[in-house]
Amino acid sequence: MVEILFAKLALPKDGVLVLPVGEDQPLSGQAAVLDEILGGMLSKAMATAEFKGKAGQVLNSYNAGPYKRVILAGAGKPDAPRRAELLGAAITIALAKEAEAVILSEDFTAPQAAEIGLGARLRAYRFDKYRTTQKPDEKVKLEKLKLLTAAPKEAEAAWKIAAAVATGVEFTRDLVTEPANVLYPAEFAERTEGLKKLGLKVEVFGQKELEKLGFGTLLSVSQGSVREPRMVVMQWLGAPGHGDDKKGTKKPKDPLVFVGKGVTFDTGGISLKPAAGMEDMKWDMAGAGTVAGLMAALAGRKAKIDAVGLIGLVENMPSGSATRPGDVVKSYAGKTVEILNTDAEGRLVLADVLYYAQERFAPKFMVNLATLTGAIIVGLGHEYGGMFSNSDELVGKLAASGEAVGEKLWRMPLSKEGEGYDKEIDSAIADVKNIGGGRAGGSITAAQFLQRFVNNTPWAHLDIAGMAWGTKDAGVNPKGATAFGVRLLDHFVRGFE
Protein backbone atom coordinates (compact mmCIF):
# COMPACT_ATOMS: atom_id res chain seq x y z
CA MET A 1 0.00 0.00 0.00
CA VAL A 2 1.32 3.43 -0.95
CA GLU A 3 1.32 5.99 1.87
CA ILE A 4 -0.20 9.30 0.75
CA LEU A 5 0.89 12.51 2.49
CA PHE A 6 0.23 16.22 1.97
CA ALA A 7 2.38 19.29 2.61
CA LYS A 8 2.55 23.00 1.79
CA LEU A 9 3.78 24.21 -1.58
CA ALA A 10 7.55 24.53 -1.65
CA LEU A 11 10.10 22.98 -3.96
CA PRO A 12 11.82 20.05 -2.22
CA LYS A 13 15.58 20.08 -1.84
CA ASP A 14 16.24 16.82 -3.66
CA GLY A 15 14.83 13.37 -4.49
CA VAL A 16 12.29 12.52 -7.18
CA LEU A 17 9.91 15.30 -8.20
CA VAL A 18 6.77 14.99 -10.35
CA LEU A 19 5.45 18.04 -12.18
CA PRO A 20 1.93 17.66 -13.67
CA VAL A 21 1.57 19.64 -16.92
CA GLY A 22 -1.79 20.37 -18.55
CA GLU A 23 -2.32 19.66 -22.24
CA ASP A 24 -0.80 22.42 -24.42
CA GLN A 25 0.01 24.42 -21.28
CA PRO A 26 3.41 25.97 -20.49
CA LEU A 27 5.20 25.42 -17.21
CA SER A 28 3.86 27.78 -14.57
CA GLY A 29 4.16 28.62 -10.89
CA GLN A 30 6.76 26.61 -8.98
CA ALA A 31 7.43 24.46 -12.05
CA ALA A 32 8.42 27.57 -14.03
CA VAL A 33 10.61 28.71 -11.13
CA LEU A 34 12.37 25.35 -11.13
CA ASP A 35 12.85 25.46 -14.90
CA GLU A 36 14.52 28.85 -14.53
CA ILE A 37 16.78 27.51 -11.77
CA LEU A 38 17.75 24.64 -14.06
CA GLY A 39 18.58 26.98 -16.92
CA GLY A 40 15.54 26.07 -19.01
CA MET A 41 16.33 22.36 -18.97
CA LEU A 42 12.70 21.31 -18.59
CA SER A 43 11.19 23.55 -21.25
CA LYS A 44 13.95 22.56 -23.68
CA ALA A 45 13.28 18.89 -23.00
CA MET A 46 9.56 19.46 -23.61
CA ALA A 47 10.28 21.06 -26.98
CA THR A 48 12.77 18.39 -28.03
CA ALA A 49 10.49 15.49 -27.06
CA GLU A 50 7.35 17.25 -28.37
CA PHE A 51 5.82 16.80 -24.95
CA LYS A 52 2.30 18.26 -25.09
CA GLY A 53 1.01 17.35 -21.62
CA LYS A 54 -1.50 14.84 -22.98
CA ALA A 55 -2.99 12.46 -20.42
CA GLY A 56 -0.62 9.57 -19.82
CA GLN A 57 2.41 11.30 -21.39
CA VAL A 58 5.59 11.14 -19.31
CA LEU A 59 8.93 12.90 -19.80
CA ASN A 60 11.93 12.13 -17.58
CA SER A 61 14.91 14.34 -16.81
CA TYR A 62 17.59 12.60 -14.77
CA ASN A 63 20.14 14.33 -12.55
CA ALA A 64 18.33 17.63 -12.97
CA GLY A 65 20.19 19.94 -10.61
CA PRO A 66 19.76 18.59 -7.07
CA TYR A 67 17.10 16.11 -8.14
CA LYS A 68 17.70 12.46 -8.90
CA ARG A 69 14.82 12.62 -11.36
CA VAL A 70 12.22 15.15 -12.48
CA ILE A 71 9.15 13.70 -14.17
CA LEU A 72 6.84 15.80 -16.30
CA ALA A 73 3.46 14.04 -16.20
CA GLY A 74 0.77 14.87 -18.73
CA ALA A 75 -2.40 15.97 -16.91
CA GLY A 76 -4.56 16.23 -20.03
CA LYS A 77 -7.28 18.79 -20.63
CA PRO A 78 -8.65 20.72 -17.64
CA ASP A 79 -12.21 19.51 -18.21
CA ALA A 80 -11.37 15.84 -18.82
CA PRO A 81 -13.46 13.39 -16.74
CA ARG A 82 -11.66 11.89 -13.73
CA ARG A 83 -8.59 13.90 -14.68
CA ALA A 84 -6.95 13.94 -11.25
CA GLU A 85 -7.31 10.25 -10.36
CA LEU A 86 -6.14 9.10 -13.81
CA LEU A 87 -3.14 11.39 -13.43
CA GLY A 88 -2.40 9.71 -10.11
CA ALA A 89 -2.56 6.30 -11.77
CA ALA A 90 -0.20 7.39 -14.57
CA ILE A 91 2.26 8.82 -12.02
CA THR A 92 2.26 5.51 -10.14
CA ILE A 93 3.23 3.67 -13.32
CA ALA A 94 6.08 6.11 -13.93
CA LEU A 95 7.31 5.70 -10.35
CA ALA A 96 7.22 1.90 -10.21
CA LYS A 97 10.95 1.63 -9.46
CA GLU A 98 11.13 4.55 -7.02
CA ALA A 99 10.56 4.18 -3.28
CA GLU A 100 9.11 7.66 -2.81
CA ALA A 101 8.44 10.89 -4.66
CA VAL A 102 6.97 14.37 -4.32
CA ILE A 103 4.15 15.61 -6.58
CA LEU A 104 3.72 19.33 -7.17
CA SER A 105 -0.08 19.58 -7.35
CA GLU A 106 -0.13 23.38 -7.51
CA ASP A 107 -2.71 23.58 -10.30
CA PHE A 108 -5.17 21.30 -8.51
CA THR A 109 -7.59 22.05 -5.69
CA ALA A 110 -7.19 20.29 -2.35
CA PRO A 111 -9.97 17.74 -3.14
CA GLN A 112 -8.36 17.12 -6.52
CA ALA A 113 -5.02 16.52 -4.82
CA ALA A 114 -6.76 13.83 -2.77
CA GLU A 115 -8.11 12.36 -6.03
CA ILE A 116 -4.56 12.18 -7.38
CA GLY A 117 -3.66 10.24 -4.25
CA LEU A 118 -6.64 7.93 -4.73
CA GLY A 119 -5.71 7.15 -8.32
CA ALA A 120 -2.13 6.47 -7.27
CA ARG A 121 -3.09 4.13 -4.46
CA LEU A 122 -5.63 2.18 -6.51
CA ARG A 123 -3.18 1.65 -9.38
CA ALA A 124 -0.36 0.69 -6.99
CA TYR A 125 -2.34 -2.31 -5.67
CA ARG A 126 -0.56 -5.65 -5.88
CA PHE A 127 -1.46 -9.13 -4.66
CA ASP A 128 1.91 -10.77 -4.03
CA LYS A 129 0.87 -12.94 -1.10
CA TYR A 130 1.86 -16.21 -2.76
CA ARG A 131 4.94 -15.04 -4.67
CA THR A 132 8.14 -16.45 -3.18
CA THR A 133 10.65 -16.26 -6.04
CA GLN A 134 10.35 -12.65 -7.20
CA LYS A 135 13.63 -10.91 -7.87
CA PRO A 136 14.13 -7.45 -6.34
CA ASP A 137 13.91 -5.71 -9.73
CA GLU A 138 10.54 -7.39 -10.39
CA LYS A 139 8.90 -5.85 -7.34
CA VAL A 140 7.15 -2.49 -7.23
CA LYS A 141 9.12 -0.30 -4.84
CA LEU A 142 6.83 2.70 -4.44
CA GLU A 143 5.97 3.23 -0.77
CA LYS A 144 5.34 6.94 -0.23
CA LEU A 145 3.91 9.86 -2.20
CA LYS A 146 3.83 13.42 -0.87
CA LEU A 147 1.54 15.88 -2.61
CA LEU A 148 2.34 19.59 -2.30
CA THR A 149 -0.75 21.78 -2.22
CA ALA A 150 -1.82 25.26 -1.13
CA ALA A 151 -4.30 23.74 1.36
CA PRO A 152 -2.76 20.60 2.88
CA LYS A 153 -5.23 20.36 5.79
CA GLU A 154 -8.19 20.50 3.42
CA ALA A 155 -6.51 17.89 1.21
CA GLU A 156 -5.93 15.62 4.23
CA ALA A 157 -9.63 15.87 5.16
CA ALA A 158 -10.63 14.89 1.62
CA TRP A 159 -8.05 12.12 1.63
CA LYS A 160 -9.46 10.61 4.83
CA ILE A 161 -12.69 9.90 2.94
CA ALA A 162 -10.94 8.76 -0.24
CA ALA A 163 -8.63 6.48 1.74
CA ALA A 164 -11.63 4.71 3.29
CA VAL A 165 -12.97 4.02 -0.20
CA ALA A 166 -9.53 2.79 -1.32
CA THR A 167 -9.47 0.42 1.65
CA GLY A 168 -12.87 -0.95 0.60
CA VAL A 169 -11.64 -1.46 -2.96
CA GLU A 170 -8.50 -3.23 -1.75
CA PHE A 171 -10.53 -5.46 0.58
CA THR A 172 -12.69 -6.53 -2.37
CA ARG A 173 -9.70 -7.08 -4.65
CA ASP A 174 -8.06 -9.29 -2.02
CA LEU A 175 -11.20 -11.39 -1.63
CA VAL A 176 -11.71 -11.84 -5.38
CA THR A 177 -8.06 -12.71 -6.00
CA GLU A 178 -7.75 -15.38 -3.30
CA PRO A 179 -7.82 -18.99 -4.56
CA ALA A 180 -10.88 -21.05 -3.69
CA ASN A 181 -8.95 -23.46 -1.47
CA VAL A 182 -8.21 -20.49 0.78
CA LEU A 183 -11.41 -18.46 0.43
CA TYR A 184 -14.43 -20.71 0.94
CA PRO A 185 -17.75 -19.69 2.56
CA ALA A 186 -16.66 -20.00 6.20
CA GLU A 187 -13.38 -18.14 5.59
CA PHE A 188 -15.14 -15.38 3.63
CA ALA A 189 -17.62 -14.95 6.49
CA GLU A 190 -14.80 -14.82 9.01
CA ARG A 191 -13.10 -12.03 7.07
CA THR A 192 -16.29 -9.98 7.09
CA GLU A 193 -16.41 -10.36 10.86
CA GLY A 194 -13.10 -8.54 10.92
CA LEU A 195 -15.00 -5.46 9.70
CA LYS A 196 -16.60 -5.12 13.14
CA LYS A 197 -13.60 -3.02 14.10
CA LEU A 198 -14.88 -0.34 11.70
CA GLY A 199 -18.22 -0.19 13.52
CA LEU A 200 -20.23 -2.60 11.37
CA LYS A 201 -22.71 -4.95 12.96
CA VAL A 202 -22.04 -8.37 11.42
CA GLU A 203 -24.25 -11.47 11.69
CA VAL A 204 -23.26 -14.85 10.26
CA PHE A 205 -25.85 -17.54 9.49
CA GLY A 206 -24.59 -21.10 9.15
CA GLN A 207 -26.06 -24.32 7.74
CA LYS A 208 -28.48 -24.95 10.60
CA GLU A 209 -29.75 -21.37 10.67
CA LEU A 210 -30.30 -21.36 6.90
CA GLU A 211 -32.14 -24.68 7.09
CA LYS A 212 -34.34 -23.30 9.86
CA LEU A 213 -35.09 -20.19 7.80
CA GLY A 214 -36.02 -22.33 4.81
CA PHE A 215 -33.39 -21.11 2.34
CA GLY A 216 -34.15 -23.97 -0.04
CA THR A 217 -32.76 -22.47 -3.24
CA LEU A 218 -29.47 -21.33 -1.66
CA LEU A 219 -28.99 -24.68 0.08
CA SER A 220 -29.64 -26.55 -3.17
CA VAL A 221 -26.44 -24.98 -4.55
CA SER A 222 -24.21 -25.84 -1.60
CA GLN A 223 -25.44 -29.37 -0.92
CA GLY A 224 -22.89 -31.00 -3.25
CA SER A 225 -19.93 -29.47 -1.41
CA VAL A 226 -18.22 -30.41 1.86
CA ARG A 227 -17.94 -26.65 2.47
CA GLU A 228 -21.02 -25.50 4.35
CA PRO A 229 -22.77 -22.30 3.22
CA ARG A 230 -23.03 -19.00 5.02
CA MET A 231 -25.13 -15.88 4.81
CA VAL A 232 -23.63 -12.68 6.21
CA VAL A 233 -25.64 -9.60 7.14
CA MET A 234 -23.64 -6.39 7.63
CA GLN A 235 -25.30 -3.27 9.00
CA TRP A 236 -23.95 0.27 9.03
CA LEU A 237 -26.16 2.57 11.11
CA GLY A 238 -24.84 6.03 10.33
CA ALA A 239 -28.02 8.04 9.80
CA PRO A 240 -28.79 10.56 12.53
CA GLY A 241 -31.97 9.88 14.48
CA HIS A 242 -32.82 6.44 13.11
CA GLY A 243 -35.25 4.33 15.08
CA ASP A 244 -34.66 1.94 17.97
CA ASP A 245 -36.55 -1.20 18.76
CA LYS A 246 -38.24 -1.81 22.11
CA LYS A 247 -35.07 -3.30 23.61
CA GLY A 248 -33.08 -0.20 22.77
CA THR A 249 -31.05 -1.88 20.05
CA LYS A 250 -30.48 0.29 17.01
CA LYS A 251 -32.31 -0.75 13.86
CA PRO A 252 -31.90 0.62 10.33
CA LYS A 253 -34.59 2.98 9.10
CA ASP A 254 -35.36 3.08 5.35
CA PRO A 255 -31.93 1.59 4.63
CA LEU A 256 -30.19 1.25 1.30
CA VAL A 257 -29.73 -2.49 0.89
CA PHE A 258 -27.05 -4.25 -1.17
CA VAL A 259 -27.04 -7.98 -1.91
CA GLY A 260 -24.14 -9.97 -3.36
CA LYS A 261 -23.76 -13.38 -4.97
CA GLY A 262 -20.92 -15.25 -3.29
CA VAL A 263 -20.17 -18.52 -5.09
CA THR A 264 -16.62 -19.02 -3.87
CA PHE A 265 -16.05 -21.61 -6.58
CA ASP A 266 -18.40 -22.67 -9.34
CA THR A 267 -17.83 -25.97 -11.11
CA GLY A 268 -21.37 -25.82 -12.49
CA GLY A 269 -22.35 -28.74 -10.26
CA ILE A 270 -23.84 -31.73 -12.09
CA SER A 271 -24.20 -29.44 -15.13
CA LEU A 272 -20.41 -29.38 -15.16
CA LYS A 273 -18.55 -26.56 -16.87
CA PRO A 274 -15.83 -27.25 -19.46
CA ALA A 275 -12.38 -27.62 -17.92
CA ALA A 276 -10.86 -24.79 -19.96
CA GLY A 277 -11.10 -21.56 -18.00
CA MET A 278 -12.78 -23.10 -14.98
CA GLU A 279 -10.03 -21.69 -12.77
CA ASP A 280 -11.59 -18.27 -13.32
CA MET A 281 -14.60 -19.38 -11.30
CA LYS A 282 -12.77 -18.52 -8.09
CA TRP A 283 -14.08 -14.99 -8.71
CA ASP A 284 -17.71 -16.03 -9.03
CA MET A 285 -18.04 -14.45 -5.59
CA ALA A 286 -17.17 -10.96 -6.87
CA GLY A 287 -20.68 -9.62 -6.22
CA ALA A 288 -20.38 -10.57 -2.56
CA GLY A 289 -16.84 -9.21 -2.50
CA THR A 290 -18.10 -5.88 -3.81
CA VAL A 291 -20.82 -5.66 -1.16
CA ALA A 292 -18.30 -6.43 1.59
CA GLY A 293 -15.88 -3.81 0.25
CA LEU A 294 -18.66 -1.25 -0.04
CA MET A 295 -19.72 -1.78 3.56
CA ALA A 296 -16.09 -1.41 4.65
CA ALA A 297 -15.87 1.86 2.73
CA LEU A 298 -19.10 3.26 4.20
CA ALA A 299 -18.04 2.40 7.73
CA GLY A 300 -14.51 3.64 7.15
CA ARG A 301 -15.68 7.08 6.03
CA LYS A 302 -18.52 7.20 8.62
CA ALA A 303 -21.27 7.58 6.01
CA LYS A 304 -24.31 9.45 7.33
CA ILE A 305 -26.75 6.81 6.12
CA ASP A 306 -28.23 3.48 7.18
CA ALA A 307 -27.05 0.72 4.87
CA VAL A 308 -27.25 -3.06 4.94
CA GLY A 309 -25.16 -5.52 2.99
CA LEU A 310 -26.19 -9.16 2.66
CA ILE A 311 -24.14 -11.87 0.96
CA GLY A 312 -24.98 -15.49 0.22
CA LEU A 313 -21.87 -17.68 0.30
CA VAL A 314 -21.75 -21.16 -1.23
CA GLU A 315 -19.48 -23.51 -3.14
CA ASN A 316 -21.04 -25.29 -6.14
CA MET A 317 -19.57 -28.78 -6.50
CA PRO A 318 -20.62 -32.08 -8.12
CA SER A 319 -20.97 -35.08 -5.82
CA GLY A 320 -23.39 -37.79 -4.78
CA SER A 321 -25.28 -35.25 -2.69
CA ALA A 322 -25.41 -32.53 -5.35
CA THR A 323 -28.65 -31.17 -6.80
CA ARG A 324 -29.70 -32.98 -9.98
CA PRO A 325 -31.08 -31.23 -13.08
CA GLY A 326 -34.85 -31.59 -12.80
CA ASP A 327 -35.01 -31.33 -9.01
CA VAL A 328 -37.65 -29.07 -7.47
CA VAL A 329 -36.90 -27.06 -4.32
CA LYS A 330 -38.86 -24.61 -2.20
CA SER A 331 -37.47 -21.09 -1.74
CA TYR A 332 -37.56 -18.87 1.35
CA ALA A 333 -40.32 -16.91 -0.41
CA GLY A 334 -42.44 -20.07 -0.54
CA LYS A 335 -42.20 -20.40 -4.33
CA THR A 336 -41.12 -23.71 -5.82
CA VAL A 337 -38.26 -23.75 -8.32
CA GLU A 338 -37.53 -26.37 -10.95
CA ILE A 339 -33.75 -26.51 -11.35
CA LEU A 340 -33.06 -27.48 -14.96
CA ASN A 341 -29.40 -26.41 -14.96
CA THR A 342 -27.25 -26.50 -11.83
CA ASP A 343 -24.82 -24.07 -13.45
CA ALA A 344 -27.51 -21.38 -13.28
CA GLU A 345 -26.84 -21.31 -9.54
CA GLY A 346 -26.17 -17.68 -8.68
CA ARG A 347 -29.81 -16.73 -9.15
CA LEU A 348 -30.78 -19.50 -6.72
CA VAL A 349 -28.50 -18.02 -4.06
CA LEU A 350 -29.79 -14.51 -4.65
CA ALA A 351 -33.45 -15.50 -4.67
CA ASP A 352 -33.48 -16.42 -0.99
CA VAL A 353 -31.24 -13.56 0.14
CA LEU A 354 -33.18 -10.93 -1.82
CA TYR A 355 -36.51 -12.00 -0.37
CA TYR A 356 -35.08 -12.15 3.14
CA ALA A 357 -33.58 -8.67 2.73
CA GLN A 358 -36.93 -7.17 1.77
CA GLU A 359 -38.87 -8.94 4.49
CA ARG A 360 -36.47 -8.01 7.28
CA PHE A 361 -35.26 -4.54 6.31
CA ALA A 362 -37.96 -2.91 4.11
CA PRO A 363 -35.35 -1.19 1.90
CA LYS A 364 -35.64 2.28 0.40
CA PHE A 365 -33.73 0.88 -2.57
CA MET A 366 -32.22 -2.56 -3.11
CA VAL A 367 -29.30 -3.31 -5.44
CA ASN A 368 -27.82 -6.74 -6.05
CA LEU A 369 -24.53 -7.51 -7.75
CA ALA A 370 -23.51 -10.79 -9.33
CA THR A 371 -21.21 -12.33 -11.88
CA LEU A 372 -24.42 -13.92 -13.07
CA THR A 373 -24.17 -14.76 -16.77
CA GLY A 374 -21.71 -15.24 -19.58
CA ALA A 375 -24.46 -13.88 -21.81
CA ILE A 376 -23.92 -10.35 -20.49
CA ILE A 377 -20.32 -10.53 -21.72
CA VAL A 378 -21.54 -11.57 -25.17
CA GLY A 379 -23.84 -8.54 -25.19
CA LEU A 380 -21.70 -5.85 -23.54
CA GLY A 381 -18.15 -7.15 -23.56
CA HIS A 382 -15.89 -5.72 -20.87
CA GLU A 383 -16.92 -2.07 -21.18
CA TYR A 384 -20.21 -1.95 -19.28
CA GLY A 385 -21.93 -3.82 -16.49
CA GLY A 386 -25.48 -4.87 -17.29
CA MET A 387 -28.24 -3.11 -15.34
CA PHE A 388 -31.79 -4.41 -14.96
CA SER A 389 -34.31 -2.54 -12.84
CA ASN A 390 -37.96 -1.94 -12.00
CA SER A 391 -37.24 1.73 -11.18
CA ASP A 392 -36.36 4.49 -13.64
CA GLU A 393 -35.24 6.68 -10.74
CA LEU A 394 -32.82 4.04 -9.51
CA VAL A 395 -31.48 3.49 -13.02
CA GLY A 396 -30.77 7.19 -13.44
CA LYS A 397 -28.93 7.47 -10.14
CA LEU A 398 -26.83 4.34 -10.69
CA ALA A 399 -25.94 5.25 -14.27
CA ALA A 400 -24.85 8.74 -13.20
CA SER A 401 -22.68 7.30 -10.42
CA GLY A 402 -21.12 4.84 -12.84
CA GLU A 403 -20.17 7.63 -15.24
CA ALA A 404 -18.75 9.72 -12.39
CA VAL A 405 -16.30 7.04 -11.24
CA GLY A 406 -15.65 5.29 -14.54
CA GLU A 407 -17.63 2.13 -13.76
CA LYS A 408 -20.21 2.30 -16.51
CA LEU A 409 -23.59 0.57 -16.61
CA TRP A 410 -25.91 -0.13 -19.54
CA ARG A 411 -29.61 -0.66 -18.97
CA MET A 412 -31.03 -3.91 -20.31
CA PRO A 413 -34.72 -4.73 -20.87
CA LEU A 414 -36.88 -6.34 -18.22
CA SER A 415 -40.45 -7.54 -18.70
CA LYS A 416 -43.21 -7.45 -16.13
CA GLU A 417 -44.13 -10.78 -14.56
CA GLY A 418 -46.21 -12.87 -16.95
CA GLU A 419 -45.18 -10.85 -20.00
CA GLY A 420 -42.48 -11.01 -22.67
CA TYR A 421 -39.18 -12.46 -21.48
CA ASP A 422 -40.72 -13.49 -18.18
CA LYS A 423 -42.82 -16.20 -19.82
CA GLU A 424 -39.56 -17.98 -20.71
CA ILE A 425 -39.10 -19.07 -17.09
CA ASP A 426 -42.55 -20.49 -16.49
CA SER A 427 -42.22 -24.11 -15.35
CA ALA A 428 -44.53 -26.95 -16.31
CA ILE A 429 -44.36 -28.51 -12.83
CA ALA A 430 -43.32 -25.73 -10.42
CA ASP A 431 -43.82 -22.01 -9.89
CA VAL A 432 -40.71 -21.08 -11.87
CA LYS A 433 -37.71 -22.71 -13.57
CA ASN A 434 -34.16 -21.43 -13.21
CA ILE A 435 -33.35 -21.07 -16.93
CA GLY A 436 -35.18 -19.91 -20.04
CA GLY A 437 -35.99 -21.99 -23.08
CA GLY A 438 -32.61 -21.57 -24.78
CA ARG A 439 -29.46 -19.46 -25.07
CA ALA A 440 -31.25 -16.39 -26.43
CA GLY A 441 -31.52 -13.55 -23.95
CA GLY A 442 -29.75 -15.49 -21.20
CA SER A 443 -28.81 -12.49 -19.08
CA ILE A 444 -32.38 -11.18 -19.35
CA THR A 445 -34.11 -14.39 -18.32
CA ALA A 446 -31.70 -14.60 -15.37
CA ALA A 447 -32.80 -11.11 -14.31
CA GLN A 448 -36.44 -12.11 -14.81
CA PHE A 449 -35.88 -14.98 -12.38
CA LEU A 450 -34.55 -12.58 -9.74
CA GLN A 451 -37.48 -10.23 -10.29
CA ARG A 452 -39.84 -13.07 -9.32
CA PHE A 453 -38.40 -12.70 -5.79
CA VAL A 454 -38.70 -8.91 -5.64
CA ASN A 455 -41.94 -7.46 -4.36
CA ASN A 456 -42.65 -3.74 -4.64
CA THR A 457 -39.18 -2.61 -3.61
CA PRO A 458 -37.33 -0.32 -6.06
CA TRP A 459 -34.60 -2.73 -7.16
CA ALA A 460 -31.69 -3.04 -9.57
CA HIS A 461 -29.70 -6.09 -10.58
CA LEU A 462 -26.15 -5.45 -11.79
CA ASP A 463 -24.64 -8.28 -13.81
CA ILE A 464 -20.90 -7.65 -13.46
CA ALA A 465 -19.60 -10.86 -15.07
CA GLY A 466 -17.66 -8.89 -17.67
CA MET A 467 -16.30 -6.30 -15.27
CA ALA A 468 -15.11 -8.13 -12.14
CA TRP A 469 -11.73 -9.16 -13.55
CA GLY A 470 -9.43 -7.33 -15.96
CA THR A 471 -7.03 -9.15 -18.25
CA LYS A 472 -4.85 -6.04 -18.66
CA ASP A 473 -3.97 -2.84 -16.83
CA ALA A 474 -6.52 -0.06 -17.36
CA GLY A 475 -6.71 3.34 -15.70
CA VAL A 476 -6.73 2.99 -11.91
CA ASN A 477 -7.05 -0.81 -12.16
CA PRO A 478 -4.01 -3.04 -12.45
CA LYS A 479 -4.55 -6.39 -14.16
CA GLY A 480 -6.72 -8.68 -12.04
CA ALA A 481 -9.62 -8.07 -9.68
CA THR A 482 -11.19 -4.66 -10.33
CA ALA A 483 -13.62 -4.34 -7.38
CA PHE A 484 -16.11 -2.99 -9.91
CA GLY A 485 -19.07 -1.55 -8.05
CA VAL A 486 -17.44 -0.46 -4.79
CA ARG A 487 -16.76 3.10 -5.94
CA LEU A 488 -19.92 3.23 -8.03
CA LEU A 489 -22.15 2.34 -5.09
CA ASP A 490 -20.23 4.52 -2.66
CA HIS A 491 -20.89 7.45 -5.00
CA PHE A 492 -24.55 6.37 -5.26
CA VAL A 493 -24.89 6.31 -1.46
CA ARG A 494 -23.51 9.84 -1.16
CA GLY A 495 -26.58 11.08 -2.99
CA PHE A 496 -28.68 10.09 0.03
CA GLU A 497 -26.47 11.49 2.80
State the CATH number of the domain containing residue 21.
3.40.220.10
Q: Decide if 419 contacts 362 (C-beta within 8 A).
A: no
Q: How many domains does the chain have?
A: 2
Confidence of residue 231 (pLDDT cuts 50, 70, 90): very high
Residues 223, 118 share a domain: no
Catalytic residue among 83, 261, 347, 397: 347
Distance of CA 269 to the CA centre of its chain: 27
Residues 168, 145 share a domain: no
- Domain final residue pick, 90, 124, 152: 152
Rounded Cα gap, residues 462 and 287, in angstroms: 9
81 in a domain, yes or no? Answer: yes
Confidence of residue 337 (pLDDT cuts 50, 70, 90): very high
Lowest mean pLDDT among 62-66, 395-399, 425-429, 437-441: 437-441
What residues make up the domain containing 481? 163-494
23 in a domain, yes or no? Answer: yes
49 in a domain, yes or no? Answer: yes
Rounded Cα gap, residues 81 and 85, in angstroms: 9
**Residues 309-332, mean pLDDT to the nearest whole number:** 98
Residues 79, 40 share a domain: yes
Catalytic residue among 52, 191, 273, 494: 273
157 in a domain, yes or no? Answer: no
Which residue from 257, 269, 20 is spatially nearest to 147, judged by alpha carbons? Answer: 20
Confidence of residue 241 (pLDDT cuts 50, 70, 90): confident
Average pLDDT of the residues of the chain: 96
Residues 251, 357 share a domain: yes
* Residue 21, pLDDT score: 97
* Residue 298, pLDDT score: 98
**Residues 160-166, mean pLDDT to the nearest whole number:** 98
Q: Is the pLDDT of residue 17 over 80?
A: yes
Residues 205, 127 share a domain: no
* Residue 294, pLDDT score: 98
- Domain final residue pick, 152, 177, 205: 152
Confidence of residue 242 (pLDDT cuts 50, 70, 90): low
Q: Is the pLDDT of residue 247 over 60?
A: no
* Residue 59, pLDDT score: 97
**Residues 232-253, mean pLDDT to the nearest whole number:** 79
* Residue 246, pLDDT score: 52
Provide the H-helix boundaries in 50-82.
none
Residues 182, 70 share a domain: no
Residues 359, 415 share a domain: yes
213 in a domain, yes or no? Answer: yes
Rounded Cα gap, residues 74 and 433, in angstroms: 54
Which residues have C-beta within 8 Å of that of residue 485, sequence separation ≥ 6? 287, 290, 294, 369, 385, 407, 462, 464, 467
Confidence of residue 77 (pLDDT cuts 50, 70, 90): very high
414 in a domain, yes or no? Answer: yes
Conformational region of residue 423, where left means phi above 0, alpha means psi within -120 to 50, and beta covers everything else? alpha
**Residues 145-159, mean pLDDT to the nearest whole number:** 97
Residues 47, 180 share a domain: no
Task: List the beta strands (DSSP E) in 331-417.
Answer: 336-339, 365-370, 385-389, 409-411
* Residue 234, pLDDT score: 98
**Residues 159-168, mean pLDDT to the nearest whole number:** 98
**Residues 162-188, mean pLDDT to the nearest whole number:** 98
- Domain final residue pick, 152, 178, 207: 152
* Digit-coded pLDDT (tens) for 414-452: 999 889 999 999 999 999 999 998 888 999 999 999 999
**Residues 295-320, mean pLDDT to the nearest whole number:** 98
Residues 420, 273 share a domain: yes
Q: Decide if 220 contacts 329 (C-beta within 8 A).
A: yes
Q: Is the pLDDT of residue 138 over 80?
A: no
* Residue 438, pLDDT score: 82
As a three-state string, the secondary structure of 225-280 is CCCCCEEEEEEEECCCCCCECCCCCECCCCCEEEEEEEEEEECCCCCCCCCCCHHH
9 in a domain, yes or no? Answer: yes
Q: Is the pLDDT of residue 245 over 80?
A: no
Q: What is the CATH number of the domain that holds 464?
A: 3.40.630.10
Residues 296, 411 share a domain: yes
Residues 344, 292 share a domain: yes
Q: Is the pLDDT of residue 123 over 80?
A: yes
**Residues 109-135, mean pLDDT to the nearest whole number:** 95
Distances (CA, A) of 257 to 204, 273, 309: 17, 32, 6
158 in a domain, yes or no? Answer: no
Residues 148, 170 share a domain: no
The percentage of residues in the chain with a pLDDT greater than 70, rounded to a whole number, is 98
Give one DSSP letter per residue of 141-171, joined into a string: ---EEEEEES-HHHHHHHHHHHHHHHHHHHH
Q: Decide if 58 contacts 90 (C-beta within 8 A).
A: yes
Confidence of residue 248 (pLDDT cuts 50, 70, 90): low
The whole model's pTM is what?
0.96
- In the residue annotation, 347 being an active-site residue is answered as yes
